[in-house]
């Protein structure tokens, strides 16, 4: 049986289109050096692109659920890419943006309510959970394509740094989301394969899984290992520590525009 949504349920939200417009205009401002404050333009670009990626993350969950049997998805507005339609807009949009501003970490969102009883088959349940973080992986690949395709000639440095920091957020979100911790997509991938008794024992801890992860990230050794892993992935994608570091510095425009020295002879460490 084929599942689909009506045209109205699939109509792209003006809110999402506005976010895409902000992303495009701010990228143009960075590229042309039009903005009086390059850091503010980088901030607008990264935040808008980050929220766009959150919308696409949740859309991937919803669309996969729809085609797996949950026909209620369309009526809930999840296919419009409207971040305001999510079950918990605070958890899905506001908190991830706050964490980006505070710590430069891609906090996983989570807010589409899927009626799991409508879906048959463990593989389908796992695929629904995997669809979100796979979207972050794809977004990271797109952001870093100019790096690993060696197509950065002629690209302004500020654009390079902005893309690098955005890629860092996508990689961190993908890694965090794929952890097999209750409340995260990684656990949603393995949960269908666990016994009923194990799932019942773990279920009460699901609301605290994300808090536990960020509690562990406050441990210096864990934090260093986490960012070392992110840096290693970014290097494979052609993004240097230097690019990501200055992207984050520019992003924090409220600290003033940084004086970026020549690359030669510098080694950036966290």
Judged by DSSP in three states, 79 sits in helix
Token couple for 15 = 């809110």
Total count of residues recorded for the chain: 270
Provide CB contacts within 8 A for 165, sequence distance 6+: 42, 46, 104, 243, 244, 247, 248, 250, 251
Judged by DSSP in three states, 264 sits in coil
d(CA 148, CA 180) in angstroms, rounded, equals 29
Active site residue 58: yes
Q: Which of 58, 115, 221, 259 is catalytic?
A: 58
183 touches 206 (CB < 8 A): yes
Q: Give DSSP secondary structure letters for 133-171.
A: HHHHHHHHHHHHHHHHTT--TT--HHHHHHHHHHHHHHH
CA angle in degrees (0–180, nearest 5) for 215-190-108: 40
89 touches 139 (CB < 8 A): no
First-to-last alpha carbon distance for the chain, in angstroms, is 52
Residues recognised as catalytic: 58
């Amino acid at each position: 049986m084929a599942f689909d949504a009506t045209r109205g349920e699939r109509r792209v939200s003006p809110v999402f289109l506005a976010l895409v417009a902000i992303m495009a205009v701010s990228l143009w401002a960075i590229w042309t050096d039009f903005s009086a404050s390059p850091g503010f333009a980088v901030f607008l670009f990264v935040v808008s692109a980050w929220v766009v990626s959150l919308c696409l993350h949740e859309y991937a969950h919803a669309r996969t659920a729809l085609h797996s049997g949950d026909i209620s998805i369309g009526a809930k507005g999840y296919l419009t890419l409207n971040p305001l339609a999510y079950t918990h807009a605070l958890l899905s949009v506001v908190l991830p943006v706050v964490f980006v501003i505070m710590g430069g970490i891609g906090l996983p969102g989570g807010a589409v309510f899927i009626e799991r009883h409508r879906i048959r088959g463990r593989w389908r349940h796992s695929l629904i959970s995997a669809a979100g973080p796979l979207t972050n992986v794809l977004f990271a690949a797109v952001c870093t394509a100019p790096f690993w395709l060696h197509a950065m000639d002629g690209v302004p440095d500020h654009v390079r740094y902005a893309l690098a920091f955005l890629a860092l957020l996508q990689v961190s979100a993908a890694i965090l989301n794929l952890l097999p911790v209750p409340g995260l997509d990684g656990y949603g991938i393995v949960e269908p394969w666990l016994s009923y008794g194990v799932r019942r024992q773990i279920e009460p801890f699901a609301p605290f899984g994300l808090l536990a992860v960020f509690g562990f990230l406050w441990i210096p050794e864990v934090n260093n290992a986490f960012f070392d892993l992110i840096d290693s992935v970014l290097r494979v994608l052609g993004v240097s520590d230097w690019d990501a570091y200055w992207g984050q510095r520019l992003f924090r425009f409220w600290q003033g525009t940084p004086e970026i020295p020549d690359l030669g002879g510098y080694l950036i460490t966290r």
